[in-house]
Amino acid sequence: MIAVLQRVSEASVRVGGEVIGQIGTGLLVLLCAEKGDTEAVADKMLAKMLKLRIFSDEAGKMNLSVQDVAGGLLVVSQFTLAADVSSGTRPGFSAAAAPDDAQRLYAYFVAQAQKAHPVVQTGRFATDMKVTLVNDGPITIPMRMTA
């Protein structure tokens, strides 16, 4: 499973001009399920994400987690994170999970996040979305978890 975390002061996702998810301070999570990913991998990623100390403390050091700052999570599915650009000029996506598996794992991840964290918003799976964010820092962290 691949994620790109962006520490934000605000973020939102629109579908057809309508805001369907938005947060203030927190993490924009771009999430991609890969072939072979399981619920255990999603659990491992979520646990790490919630505890990752990438928010500033009073001294300005990255010492606090999204839970510590009571920030939100905006979780957006993005299969293009599995892009292989090693040959040619057109990305290949063969490492991405099949759509049914990816949707199941995305839904599982969101459900687990909602159980573990008070503010969780989402995009819409397999939909053309417009994501707006104010990257705070900027802080952008790539993550990859495997079984």
Tell me which DSSP letter residue 70 carries.
Answer: T
78 is catalytic: yes
Cβ atoms 11, 51 nearer than 8 A: no
Output the six-digit token pair for 122. 């989402």
- 62, pLDDT greater than 90: yes
2-84+93-137 CATH: 3.50.80.10
80 is catalytic: yes
Q: How confident is the model at residue 147 (pLDDT cuts 50, 70, 90)?
A: confident
- Residue 76 CA to residue 132 CA, distance in Å, equals 12
Cα–Cα distance list, 104 to 17, 91, 136 (Å): 26, 24, 31
Q: Is the pLDDT higher at 83 or at 147? A: 83
Would you list the domain boundaries of the chain?
A: 2-84+93-137
Cβ atoms 97, 35 nearer than 8 A: yes
> Average pLDDT, whole number, for the chain?
97
Which residue of the set 25, 55, 79, 109 is catalytic?
79
- 132, pLDDT greater than 90: yes
Percent of the chain at pLDDT exceeding 70: 100
Which residue of the set 78, 109, 121, 122 is catalytic?
78
